[in-house]
């Protein structure tokens, strides 16, 4: 029926792949279609060809919601082949309101046929207002598993898509596509689409060579990665869950002469697009990333995907390895697993997906009692962690229980509140089950591809004959033998790699710049690492920090201070006081001073009845509490000195920053460098 | 709240949708469209897909000038489906949309040309089917007029009468507050969009308690508009069983909103007028015999109530005897039910539009309701 159109693009011999013509036909009849087909099947062909025909019929443009940040050269080329024009709106190429309005005008004037936007943009009210002017004929949701799988918690942005699907008039066709969905997800998407046709094929990818390795320590994983990046060819992606781990891994790789960069949600959009482009153009060899890099990213020749941590579900895992081997015959996907830590991190993510009901109630109650409220008043009124408060507000906004006006003030809507707790719990239960499925994957003796595709309910799931399970001893795509020298190098790196303490620059109470700011400081360890756990035992079990900690601290500080050109002989160590454990830190600090052979002076003290720092959940309360309690008790002269402030754990950094502020006000020409045994941030 | 295709079409072509930079159909244009379509057994949902030439042909009830305008406006919005997100999210935040099919009989006293295609509302819409006292008056009414107004509003509560007003400062607010504070109910048609009202926690409380209903034909974030303030007068006068005019100027060079509303009511005979105080306008109404001094609720409401009760019970009796007759004749239960629904549907069409929707398809009733606004 549309063969002629296909052949106009792909040549006289082209034929449709199974299901493509059905999908196009349904779209042209303004039906709703869900396509579940593996990467490379030709999903974009469906919407590009359909767009072409719709445009010939005088219909509006195709709007594609895709997690893709920017169009790649590749995609622009491919739309040219179809004789249609694609554009996207993102923060890099069309930042201003005018530029964006121009894109919409071009679409309405027939100069552009396909518009790509990201789901996040749908959260922006101005943007939705602009999109209201767009004349569309086809609405496409790419990576549609997100409207089911993540839609409700990690990616609340997809909730708006759900709304659109409920209200879009029947003269607009809808296409949802995904390469990764099990039956549950398919049912869920289909329910959201309403009456729809499902085009589903098998998921097995011929180009992927799967492998998994048990490596229970960070040292072994780092060593394996360094060794195998020499072994593997081409460029690739390493998934590592936390931002800190991504950054540390990227440093490690660079140190091993591998051109790598970290990619995570802490970066702004421009930087992310730049990194994606640099990987695409092979300027970078490896991106070490969190799930922030995901589905939209499309490079033809990704030849390896390595998982440093086990992902949270089969859907997520398959999605991520699916980035590999799109346009090449062979790509290696390796899961590194083992160790307590990875389970802890994933469980943390799973169980903290939703805020506590008690906190939600607090926020709602306050909004109920008031007209319009700024976020800062909410922070002041309630003891809720700032990121949790953000999460609560976002959830409540999405559920329609609160609104936000153009001046960023929040207000309660008239929608009666129904607790979402049982729903949240059911989502958490489901996540626990899905994570378990991947933990079972670690142990499985089945073909790895068969395991994954059958977990995705692929009816044609079968053994692949190329994974490390199928091949057994014949597997030679990686080198899994690590010698003690490999591991020693990592230990050395961990040792030298500084965990920095950045100063706070602005008061959370007054929102003014702080007058005195400390130097970049140092933490000996992360809380979850061995030394961090040694410090935990010292504080909570033995009430004394061990010599191991004193010596490790001294070693690391010597090197660190030398690099900062601080003369240890002139250094003064000042402990952070505590009324709860008055001896613990001073005693340690004094031993450290003896080991380093520098001065030791107690200057600061605390007023009584200070609440425990970790019980205060947001910056404003934390800073205020420290300001209320910390003071200079002992006015010795330390003008012109370099001071090392010593504490056990650092989390919010307010203690160091306020202590600096106090000292800086009294003494002249001093520098202050903070030091803590462990960085506990993000590990509560 | 799920919407039918006809409702989405109504909203797409009649809502303000300022963000789309296009113009909605006016009430009169919309009526023309619906009448034309229904003559050809079509419903508003066809507007999504209709081509300009098909539409031109279909617009049998439109003048030539109207045709051009309507075709242009519809073509400009046909493909703007994304803008319907607004409708979804309004409802998501707890607002309601009352299309014509759902409007109660009290509003339908307005002729078709005055009734918008839909109202935005928040609160309990059944308040509209209580006995209603409209309260209108100047913003700058004097203390005496205000205290009398409050007194009457308070008495309304104990008589089971709800207050309807325009939500302006002065008389409007005094009456509504007196009713709400004494546990009564009220309906307000503000001159600005509803969003601003709903942000106030006291307002939300009254709404959640089921005491207050806010309604508006304007988009939710609309600022105060003088012309809409005039337009909404009819929404206050028409549904009222009686209207109390507490204080009014007479329109001169500068139009008085209260006075214009009152004149409109007199012209269309929507509801009897009562007055208090001795402002310029009030005196004139009395002199011309257009209004009576406010006396008591017993006097004003009893009469109309008892006649209503009587007809109601007569109908009830008739139904019972008819059903008995049918059973006696050996008709099957299902047949009786069906007949009964058909007949009562005809009787109560205006009355119970929303309940009927369960029996007939909503589309069906909507298209019909659009037309049955005549009187
Ligand atoms: N019927 C077809 N005939 C020829 N080439 C096709 C056909 N369908 C898809 N392709 C090509 O296959 C490749 C992968 O298609 P694409 O749409 O990118 O896959 P997906 O979006 O499903 O991952 C593209 O180069 C595309 O042009
Ligand atoms: Zn296999």
B321 in a structural domain = no
Any idea what the CATH number is for the domain that residue B230 is in?
A: 3.40.50.450
The answer, yes or no, to whether any atom of ligand 1 lies below 6 A from the CB of A323, is no
Q: What is the mean pLDDT of residues A344-366?
A: 85
Residues B27 and B114 in one domain: no
Q: Looking at the structure, do residues B360 and B272 belong to the same domain, yes or no?
A: no
Task: Give, in words, the CATH class of A208-347+445-481.
Answer: alpha beta
| CB-ligand 1 contact for A14 (6 Å cutoff) | yes
From A655's Cα to the closest Cα of chain B, the distance in A is 39
Parent domain of B164 = 101-295
Secondary structure of residue B251 in the 3-state scheme: coil
Question: Pick from B52, B85, B118: which residue ends a domain?
Answer: B85
pLDDT digits (tens, 9 = 90+) for A457-486: 998 899 999 999 999 999 999 999 999 999
Could B12 and A169 be called an inter-chain contact, meaning their C-beta atoms sit closer than 8 Å?
A: yes
Same domain, B171 and B137: yes
Give a yes or no: residue B106 inside a domain: yes
Query: pLDDT category, A236, cuts 50, 70, 90?
Result: very high
Position B358 scores a pLDDT of 41
Most B CBs within 10 Å: which of A414, A416, A418, as the mutation test of the B interface? A414
pLDDT of residue B347: 53
- pLDDT band, very low/low/confident/very high, at A152 (cuts 50, 70, 90): very low
Residues of chain A contacting residue B86, judged by C-beta atoms under 8 Å apart: 132
Contact call for residues A99 and A105 (beta carbons, < 8 A): no
Whether B188 maps to a domain, the answer reads yes
State whether B278 and B202 are in the same domain.
yes
Q: Are residues B197 and B265 in the same domain?
A: yes
**Is B77 among the domain residues?**
yes
pLDDT at position B354 is 41
Q: For chain A, what is the mean pLDDT?
A: 90
More confident residue, B199 or A39: B199
Give, for all 375 residues of chain B, the pLDDT tens digit.
689 999 999 999 999 999 999 999 999 999 999 999 999 999 999 999 999 999 999 999 999 999 999 999 999 999 999 999 999 999 999 999 999 988 988 888 887 788 999 999 999 999 999 999 999 998 888 999 999 999 999 999 999 999 999 999 999 999 999 999 999 999 999 999 999 999 999 999 999 999 999 999 999 999 999 899 999 999 999 999 999 999 888 988 888 889 999 999 999 999 999 999 989 999 999 999 999 999 888 888 765 554 455 555 666 677 777 777 777 777 777 777 776 666 665 555 444 444 434 434 444 444 455 544 433
How is chain A split into domains, by residue range? 3-200, 208-347+445-481, 358-423, 498-679
Contact: B88, A134; criterion CB under 8 Å: no
Fold of domain A498-679: Rossmann fold (3.40.50)
- Is there a domain that residue B320 lies in? no
- Residue B186: the pLDDT is 98
Query: Are B350 and B283 in a shared domain?
Result: no
Q: Are residues B53 and B108 in the same domain?
A: no
Atom of ligand 1 nearest to the CA of A46: 17
**pLDDT recorded at residue B314:** 64
Asked whether residue B114 falls in the same domain as residue B235, the answer is: yes
Tell me the helices (H) and strands (E) count for chain B, helix number first. 16, 9
State how far the Cα of A76 lies from the Cα of A78, in Å rounded to an integer. Answer: 5
Domain A498-679 in the same topology as domain A208-347+445-481: yes
| B203 and B347 share one domain | no
CA of A68 from ligand 1 middle (Å) equals 18
CA nearest ligand 1 atom 1, residue:
A16
pLDDT tens, residue by residue, A160-200: 898 999 999 999 999 999 988 889 889 989 999 999 999 99
What confidence score (pLDDT) does residue A656 get?
Answer: 96
pLDDT for A285-313, tens place per residue? 999 998 777 666 778 899 999 999 899 88
Q: Which chain B residues touch A168 with a CB distance below 8 Å?
A: 81-82, 84
| Lowest mean pLDDT across A44-58, A138-152, A501-515, B223-237 | A138-152
pLDDT in tens, A437-450: 999 999 999 999 99
Co-location of B123 and B77 in the same domain: no
With H, G, I as helix, E, B as strand and everything else as coil, classify residue B355. Answer: helix
Check whether A73 has a pLDDT greater than 70.
no
pLDDT at A150: 47
Asked whether A45 lines ligand 1 (CB < 6 A), one says: yes
- Helix A448-455 / helix A314-321 crossing angle, nearest 10 deg: 120
Chain A positions touching B93 (Cβ under 8 A) are 400, 403, 413-415
Q: Do residues A146 and A295 touch, judged by C-beta distance below 8 A?
A: yes
Provide the 8-state DSSP code for A513: B
> A210 C-alpha to center of ligand 2: Å?
7
Handedness of CA B279, B282, B287, B292 (dihedral sign): negative
Per-residue confidence (pLDDT) for residue A66, from 0 to 100: 87
Q: Which CATH architecture has domain A3-200?
A: 3-Layer(aba) Sandwich (3.40)
Residue A81: CB within 6 Å of ligand 1? no
pLDDT in tens, A520-566: 999 998 887 778 888 999 999 999 999 999 999 999 999 999 999 99
Shortest distance, CA B133 to any CA of chain A (angstroms): 26
For B1, counting Cβ atoms within 10 Å of its Cβ (0-12 exposed, 13-18 middle, 19+ buried), the class is exposed
> What was the pLDDT predicted at B197?
95
For residue A48 and ligand 1, the question of a CB distance below 6 A is answered with no
B200 assigned to some structural domain: yes
Number of domains into which chain B is organized = 3
Domain end: B85, B113, B139, which one?
A: B85
3-state secondary structure string across A487-499: HHHHHHHHHHCCE
Q: CATH classification of A358-423 is 3.40.50.1820, yes or no?
A: no
Which chain B residues have a beta carbon less than 8 Å from that of A138? none
Task: Tell me, in angstroms, the distance from the centre of ligand 2 to residue A206's CA.
Answer: 10
Task: Let me know if residue B250 belongs to a domain.
Answer: yes
Q: What is the pLDDT of residue B368?
A: 56
Q: Are residues B60 and B110 in the same domain?
A: no
Cα–Cα distances in angstroms (integers) from residue A262 to residues A154, A284, A335, B61, B156, in the given order: 21, 11, 19, 67, 70
Q: What average pLDDT does this structure show over A130-140?
A: 97
Please report which ligand is nearest the Cα atom of A296.
1
Which ligand 1 atom is at minimum distance from the Cα of A81?
27
Chain B contacts to A (CB-CB under 8 A): 2-3, 5, 8-9, 12, 17, 19-21, 45, 48-49, 78-89, 92-95, 122, 198-201, 204, 207-208
Which ligand 1 atom is at minimum distance from the Cα of A39?
23
Strand segments, DSSP code E, in A286-407 are 286-289, 302-307, 331-337, 373-374, 402-404
pLDDT at B357: 40
| pLDDT tier, A489 (very low <50, low <70, confident <90, very high otherwise) | very high
Is residue B65 located within the same domain as residue B113?
Answer: no
Closest partner residue to B88 (CB to CB) among A60, A131, A167 is A167
Contact B131, B160 (CB under 8 A): yes
Q: Is B35 exposed, middle or buried (0-12, 13-18, 19+ CB in 10 A)?
A: middle
């Amino acid at each position: 029926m549309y063969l002629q159109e296909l052949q106009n693009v792909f040549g006289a011999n082209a034929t449709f792949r199974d299901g493509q013509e059905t999908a196009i036909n349904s779209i042209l009849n303004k039906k709703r279609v869900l396509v579940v087909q593996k990467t490379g099947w030709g999903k974009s062909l469906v919407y590009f060809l359909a767009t072409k025909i719709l445009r010939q019929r005088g219909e509006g443009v195709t709007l594609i919601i895709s997690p893709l940040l920017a169009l790649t050269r590749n995609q622009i080329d491919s739309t040219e082949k179809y004789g249609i024009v694609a554009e996207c709106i993102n923060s890099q190429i069309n930042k201003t309101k005018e530029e964006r309005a121009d894109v919409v005008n071009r679409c309405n004037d027939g100069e552009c046929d396909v518009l790509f936007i990201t789901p996040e943009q749908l959260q922006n009210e101005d943007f939705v207002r602009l999109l209201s002017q767009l004349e569309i004929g086809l609405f496409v949701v790419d990576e549609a598993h997100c409207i089911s799988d993540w839609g409700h918690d990690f990616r609340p942005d997809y909730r708006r898509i759900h709304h659109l699907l409920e209200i879009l008039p029947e003269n607009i066709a809808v296409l949802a596509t995904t390469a990764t969905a099990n039956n549950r997800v398919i049912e869920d998407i289909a329910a959201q689409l309403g009456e729809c046709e499902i085009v589903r094929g098998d998921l097995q990818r011929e180009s992927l060579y799967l492998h998994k390795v048990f490596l229970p320590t960070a040292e072994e994983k780092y060593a394996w990665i360094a060794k195998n990046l020499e072994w593997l060819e081409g460029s690739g992606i390493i998934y590592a869950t936390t931002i800190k781990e991504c950054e540390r891994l990227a440093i490690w790789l660079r140190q091993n002469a591998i051109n790598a960069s970290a990619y995570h949600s802490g970066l702004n959009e421009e930087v992310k697009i730049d990194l994606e482009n640099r990987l695409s153009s092979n300027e970078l060899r490896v991106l070490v990333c969190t799930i922030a890099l995901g589905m939209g990213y499309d490079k033809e020749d990704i030849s390896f995907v390595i998982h440093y941590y086990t992902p949270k579900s089969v859907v997520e895992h398959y999605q991520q390895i699916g980035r590999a081997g799109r346009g090449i015959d062979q790509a290696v996907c390796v899961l590194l697993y083992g160790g307590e830590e990875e389970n802890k991190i994933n469980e943390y993510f799973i169980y903290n997906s939703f805020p506590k009901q008690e906190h939600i109630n607090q926020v709602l109650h306050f909004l109920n009692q008031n007209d319009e409220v700024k976020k800062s008043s909410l922070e002041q009124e309630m003891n809720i962690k700032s990121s949790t408060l953000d999460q609560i507000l976002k959830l409540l906004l999405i559920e329609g229980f609160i609104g936000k006006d153009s001046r960023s003030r929040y207000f309660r809507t008239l929608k009666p509140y129904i607790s979402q707790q049982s729903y949240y719990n059911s989502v958490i239960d489901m996540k626990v089950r899905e994570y378990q499925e991947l933990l079972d994957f670690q142990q499985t003796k089945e073909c790895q591809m068969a395991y994954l595709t059958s977990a995705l309910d692929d009816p044609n799931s079968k053994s692949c004959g190329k994974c490390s399970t199928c091949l057994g001893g014949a597997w030679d795509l990686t080198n899994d033998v690590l010698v003690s020298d490999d591991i020693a190098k990592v230990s050395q790196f961990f040792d030298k790699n500084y965990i920095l303490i950045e100063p706070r620059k602005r008061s959370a109470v007054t929102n003014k710049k702080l007058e005195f700011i400390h130097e970049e400081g140092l933490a000996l360890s992360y809380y979850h690492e061995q030394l961090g756990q040694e410090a935990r035992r010292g504080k909570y079990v033995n009430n004394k920090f061990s010599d191991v900690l004193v010596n490790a601290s001294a070693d690391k500080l010597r090197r660190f201070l030398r690099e900062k050109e601080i003369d240890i002989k002139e250094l003064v160590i000042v402990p952070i006081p505590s009324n709860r454990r008055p001896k613990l830190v001073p005693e340690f600090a004094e031993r450290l001073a003896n080991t380093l052979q520098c001065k030791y002076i107690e200057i600061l003290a605390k007023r009584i009845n200070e609440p425990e720092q970790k019980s205060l959940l947001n910056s404003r309360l934390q800073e205020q509490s420290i300001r209320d309690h910390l003071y200079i008790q002992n006015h010795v002269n330390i003008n012109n000195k370099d001071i090392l402030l010593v504490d056990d754990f650092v989390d919010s950094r307010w203690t160091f920053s306020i202590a600096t502020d106090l000292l800086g006000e009294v003494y002249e020409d001093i520098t202050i460098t903070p030091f803590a045994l462990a960085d506990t941030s993000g590990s509560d | 709240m799920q919407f039918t295709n006809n409702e989405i079409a109504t909203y797409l072509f009649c809502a303000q949708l300022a963000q789309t930079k296009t113009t909605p159909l006016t009430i009169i244009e919309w009526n023309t469209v619906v009448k034309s379509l229904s003559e050809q057994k079509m419903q508003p949902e066809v507007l999504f897909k209709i081509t300009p030439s098909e539409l031109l042909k279909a617009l049998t009830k439109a003048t030539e000038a109207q045709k051009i305008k309507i075709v242009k406006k519809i073509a400009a919005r046909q493909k703007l489906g994304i803008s319907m997100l607004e409708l979804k999210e309004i409802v998501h935040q707890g607002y309601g949309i009352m299309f014509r099919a759902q409007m109660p009989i009290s509003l339908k006293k307005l002729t078709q040309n005055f009734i918008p295609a839909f109202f935005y509302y928040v609160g309990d819409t059944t308040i509209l089917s209580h006995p209603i006292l409209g309260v209108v008056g100047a913003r700058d009414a004097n203390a005496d007029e205000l205290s009398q107004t409050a007194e009457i509003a308070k008495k309304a509560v104990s008589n089971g009468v709800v207050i309807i007003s325009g939500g302006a400062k002065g008389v409007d607010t005094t009456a509504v507050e007196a009713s709400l504070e004494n546990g009564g109910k009220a309906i307000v048609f503000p001159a600005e969009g509803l969003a601003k009202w709903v942000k106030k926690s006291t307002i939300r409380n009254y709404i959640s308690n089921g005491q207050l209903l806010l309604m508006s034909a304007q988009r939710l974030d609309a600022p105060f508009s003088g012309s809409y303030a005039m337009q909404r007068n009819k929404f206050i006068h028409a549904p009222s069983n009686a209207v109390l005019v507490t204080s009014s100027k007479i329109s001169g060079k500068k139009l008085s909103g209260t006075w214009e509303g009152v004149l409109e009511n007199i012209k269309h005979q929507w509801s009897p007028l009562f007055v208090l105080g001795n402002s310029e306008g009030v005196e004139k109404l009395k002199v011309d015999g257009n209004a009576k001094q406010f006396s008591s609720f017993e006097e004003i409401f009893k009469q109309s109530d008892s006649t209503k009760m009587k007809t109601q019970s007569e109908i009830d009796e008739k139904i019972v005897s008819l059903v008995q007759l049918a059973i006696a004749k050996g008709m099957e239960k299902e047949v009786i039910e069906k007949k009964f629904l058909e007949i009562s549907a005809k009787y109560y069409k205006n009355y119970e539009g929303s309940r009927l929707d369960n029996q007939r398809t909503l589309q069906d009733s909507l298209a019909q309701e659009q037309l049955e606004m005549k009187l």
